[in-house]
Each structure stands twice: as structure tokens, then as C-alpha cells.
């Protein structure tokens, strides 16, 4: 009898603990998930050198170093191969399921699979996306939509309005680019969202004036937003992030997906100048979030990349050096410089001004001999000048299959340590959402 009484007492105490003690701090109320699209380990290493103070003897650490907890593998469904695209990898990070390249929120058999963002909405949390691509691009779409092909941009945009969870829109906040997909001849989704009670803004400067706590749609470009180097506000990802969090904070918690989308685009273009500017925008965003978390112990920050792009090499041609100083004074992106050079009367003088350093006769000649009326050849020539000056190398204009880093801080962050598959990142977030 004494043993039975002891057992019953233990059960009662356990029940009381489960019912009345505060929720385990490892189960976060808010989850902020960040994807640096295309940001393999060479990008964070290069950024450390780019951000380094040359007047000190040491190479200073960055926010990426402070938050680093592990690594993740990125391969898609093995019927596709070892190298992923952004859709398959984002679907893995969003749903915990491997799929084929091009898939948005569906498995290898094209069956809809739930995302962590959708579970958060189902639980009554607010949800949002803040990205520098169009908001219906592969990564944000994989968290908030389902489609057999990432190329079906109009269908994905439509689904943001048409699909509901418990009678509510999947996304409370949507910030990024995408006018041409949301304001079309066949359908004006902006007007439909406004009629449904969403605030709408199309200038970053308007974000400070929106009513806090209400649904928000912000579109700031026809497709993807301008490069950081070409933006009036070069910290546009940080601006989007702060605005999204202001709108999402509430008693039930929130899930926010942030994407530094154009690191990947710079990698595809083998454009080291734009790549470092995009990395800086992300670093400033992470630094702000670091401070935000000091006041929000119930919040998890988890950041990673979907894959690496371009095969970026810090050092090239057998030369043991890398010189990021040539990337520090750019007044515009190489793409914008190339566009301006098409009609320039003196290409050497204009390029010198926009690059922030004096070109050699050989470099001026490499620009002068280009007769194309299209900006891309001149864009490429500018990027090659920057590669040569900095001694940067690239192996591809596409993706590579290398592992990527995992960064985390806050409630539950210890569960992302070590090596994980990208699907395990999502599975762990599912567990944290469910309090497991």
C-alpha cells in the first residue's frame, strides 16, 4: 500500500507540473527562420574578410561566427540527384520532406505536404514572409503555398489569396517584390487583399506609417527588389524584417520567414561585388535580431542556406591572396554599371567613378571593345575586373552540392547543433511548434 501511495503521489505531482508549471522555455512562442539563398560557407568566410578592419592585427569575427551551431546537407530527392535547386531545398526546410527540383510544397509524388509556417498558422500564430525576391519566388512560396512547379508564378500568387487555413489567409504579412504577378490584366490581387482588410504599401518609406498589428501586403518592385548596391536604402532586408516583426508580434506568437534572396542571384552572375553587399544586408539584419532576442527569451532564431551558388573561391589562379578592398567603394551594382556603360561616351571615366578606383589601360580596353547594345556583356566585364582585382574565383554559374551552415540563437536553439540534413531542420521546428 505504501508503494502504491508513493506511486499515486508521483503521478499526481507529475500531472500538477504538466498543468500548472510554465511552458518549457525550449518551446518558443515566436520562430524567426532565415534563409540566405545560395549562401554556402565560402560566402560567410568571404564576408568575414570583407568586413575585417585592416587597421587591426586580427581578423574580427562576424555575427555569422557568433551564431554558428552546425551544418546541413542539401541534396533533393535522390531520383533528382545530389544537387538541389531552391524550390526542392526550400520545400525540405519548410516541410521536412525531400522532393524533386522545382517542387513547391509538394513531395516527389506531387502530394501536398504541410509546412512549418502552415502549422504555426493552424495553431493560431500570426505568420509572415519578408524577402528581397518577389514574394511568390521559390523559397517564400515553399513555406506558404503548394504547386508542382516553381515557374507557375501567377498560380502561386493566386494561392496566397485563395487558399485558407481555418478560414484565414495563410500569410498575415507579405513583404518583398512582385507587382507584375499581383497586378495583372486577368486579376488584381492587390485590390482583393485591400478589400479583405490588408494594408498595402509600395514604398519602403511607407512601412513606418502602417497601422501596427494589422495584415500587411508590401510590394516594392515589379519582380525582385533592386540590388542592395542600387537601393536608396541598402539595408532593405533589415527594414523589411523590422516592419514584419512589428506587425506580427502578439500574445499567441508568430512565425516569420526571412530570405536574403539575392545572394543567390549574385552567385549565379559570378558577381562578387553584389554578393558582399547582399551579405552585408543580411549581417546587419542578423545583428539587429541578435539584440531583439535579448529582450525576447521566448523567441527562436534559426538561419541557414538552401544551397551554395557559383562555387565561390576566396583566392584564384594559384595566387594565395584575396583582396576585398576593391569591393568597398562601389557606387552601383555591376549590373547597373553595365547598363550605364552601354550609352556612355567615356566608358573608362564612368566605370572609374562607379567602381571607386582608377582603371588600368587594359581594363578600360576590355570595356571599350564591347560593341553590344545590351548591358549583360558589360556587366560581365565589370564583374571580371572585380574578380581579377580581388582574386576571386568561381567554378559554375549554377548551384553546388556542398553542405551549408546552420546558425541559431534563443529558445530551442541547442537542438540544431551538429550535422543535420535540411529535412531535420524542418522536423525540429515542427517539434518545437508542437512543444515536443
Quote the number of domains for the chain. Answer: 2
Q: Based on the fold, state whether residues 103 and 250 are members of the same structural domain.
A: yes
- 265 domain-assigned: yes
SS3 state of residue 425:
helix
Q: Based on the fold, state whether residues 355 and 415 are members of the same structural domain.
A: no
Q: Based on the fold, state whether residues 82 and 139 are members of the same structural domain.
A: yes
User: How much is the pLDDT for 436?
Assistant: 86
Its domain, for residue 201, covers 30-312+396-433
Quickly list H helices, 311-346. 334-341
Q: Based on the fold, state whether residues 343 and 210 are members of the same structural domain.
A: no
Could you count the other beta carbons within 10 Å of the beta carbon of residue 78?
A: 9
User: How much is the pLDDT for 16?
Assistant: 33
Q: Based on the fold, state whether residues 333 and 366 are members of the same structural domain.
A: yes
Q: Based on the fold, state whether residues 237 and 364 are members of the same structural domain.
A: no
Q: Based on the fold, state whether residues 426 and 299 are members of the same structural domain.
A: yes
User: How much is the pLDDT for 184?
Assistant: 98
User: How much is the pLDDT for 260?
Assistant: 98
User: How much is the pLDDT for 346?
Assistant: 96
- 14 domain-assigned: no
Q: Based on the fold, state whether residues 328 and 343 are members of the same structural domain.
A: yes
Q: Based on the fold, state whether residues 285 and 303 are members of the same structural domain.
A: yes
Q: Based on the fold, state whether residues 154 and 69 are members of the same structural domain.
A: yes
Q: Quick one: which of 234, 319, 223, 221 has its CA closest to 273?
A: 234
Q: Please identify every residue annotated as catalytic.
A: 86
User: How much is the pLDDT for 27?
Assistant: 84
With a CB cutoff of 8 Å and minimum separation 6, the contacts of 101 are 76, 80, 84, 85, 87, 88
Entry pTM = 0.92
Q: Based on the fold, state whether residues 355 and 248 are members of the same structural domain.
A: no
Q: Could you tell me if residue 298 is left (phi over 0), alpha (psi between -120 and 50 degrees) or otherwise beta?
A: alpha
- Per-run averaged pLDDT (10 residues), the chain, 436 residues: 38 33 63 98 98 95 98 97 98 98 98 98 97 98 98 98 97 98 98 98 96 96 98 96 98 98 98 98 98 96 98 96 97 98 96 97 96 94 98 98 98 96 98 94
Find the CATH number of the domain harbouring 367: 1.10.60.40
The three-state DSSP-derived secondary structure of 58-124 is CCCCCHHHHHEEEEEECCCCCCCCCCCCHHHHHHHHHHCCCCCCCCECECCCCCECCCHHHHHHHCC
Alpha carbon distance 241, 204 (integer Å)? 12
Q: Based on the fold, state whether residues 218 and 241 are members of the same structural domain.
A: yes
- 308 domain-assigned: yes
User: How much is the pLDDT for 26?
Assistant: 56
Amino acid at each position: 500500500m505504501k508503494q502504491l501511495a508513493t506511486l499515486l503521489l508521483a503521478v499526481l505531482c507529475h500531472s500538477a507540473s504538466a498543468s500548472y508549471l510554465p511552458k518549457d522555455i525550449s518551446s518558443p512562442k515566436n520562430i524567426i527562420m532565415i534563409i540566405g539563398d545560395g549562401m554556402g560557407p565560402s560566402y560567410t568566410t568571404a564576408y568575414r574578410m570583407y568586413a575585417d578592419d585592416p587597421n587591426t592585427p586580427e581578423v574580427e569575427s562576424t555575427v555569422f561566427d557568433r551564431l554558428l551551431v552546425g551544418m546541413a546537407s542539401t541534396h533533393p530527392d535522390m531520383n533528382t540527384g545530389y544537387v538541389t535547386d531552391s524550390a526542392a531545398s526550400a520545400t525540405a526546410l519548410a516541410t521536412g520532406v525531400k522532393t524533386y527540383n522545382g517542387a513547391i510544397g509538394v513531395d516527389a509524388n506531387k502530394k501536398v505536404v504541410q509546412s512549418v509556417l502552415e502549422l504555426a498558422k493552424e495553431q493560431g500564430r500570426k505568420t509572415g514572409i519578408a524577402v528581397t525576391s518577389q514574394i511568390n519566388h521559390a523559397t517564400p512560396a515553399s513555406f506558404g503555398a503548394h504547386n508542382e512547379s516553381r515557374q507557375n508564378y501567377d498560380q502561386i500568387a493566386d494561392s496566397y489569396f485563395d487558399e485558407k487555413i481555418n478560414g484565414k489567409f495563410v500569410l498575415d504579412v507579405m513583404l518583398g517584390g512582385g507587382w507584375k504577378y499581383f497586378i495583372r490584366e486577368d486579376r488584381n490581387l492587390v485590390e482583393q487583399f485591400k478589400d479583405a482588410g490588408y494594408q498595402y504599401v509600395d514604398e519602403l518609406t511607407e512601412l513606418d506609417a502602417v497601422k501596427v498589428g494589422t495584415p500587411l501586403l508590401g510590394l516594392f518592385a515589379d519582380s525582385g527588389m533592386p540590388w542592395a548596391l542600387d537601393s536608396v536604402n541598402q539595408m532593405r532586408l533589415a527594414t523589411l524584417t523590422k516592419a514584419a516583426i512589428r506587425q506580427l508580434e502578439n500574445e499567441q506568437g508568430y512565425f516569420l520567414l526571412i530570405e536574403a534572396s539575392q545572394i543567390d542571384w549574385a552567385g549565379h552572375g559570378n558577381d562578387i561585388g553584389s554578393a558582399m553587399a547582399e551579405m552585408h544586408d543580411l549581417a546587419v539584419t542578423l545583428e539587429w535580431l541578435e539584440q531583439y532576442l535579448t529582450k525576447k527569451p521566448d523567441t527562436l532564431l534559426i538561419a541557414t542556406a538552401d544551397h551554395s551558388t557559383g562555387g565561390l573561391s576566396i583566392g584564384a589562379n594559384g595566387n594565395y591572396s584575396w583582396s576585398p578592398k576593391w569591393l568597398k567603394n562601389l557606387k552601383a551594382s555591376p549590373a547597373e554599371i553595365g547598363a550605364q556603360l552601354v550609352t556612355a561616351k567615356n566608358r573608362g571615366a564612368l566605370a572609374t567613378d562607379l567602381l571607386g578606383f582608377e582603371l588600368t589601360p587594359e581594363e578600360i580596353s576590355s570595356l571599350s571593345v564591347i560593341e553590344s547594345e545590351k548591358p549583360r556583356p558589360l556587366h560581365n566585364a565589370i564583374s571580371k575586373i572585380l574578380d581579377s582585382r580581388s582574386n576571386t574565383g568561381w567554378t559554375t554559374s549554377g548551384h553546388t552540392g556542398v553542405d551549408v551552415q546552420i546558425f541559431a540563437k534563443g529558445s530551442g536553439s541547442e537542438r540544431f547543433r551538429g550535422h543535420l540534413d535540411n529535412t531535420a531542420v524542418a522536423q525540429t521546428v515542427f517539434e518545437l511548434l508542437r512543444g515536443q
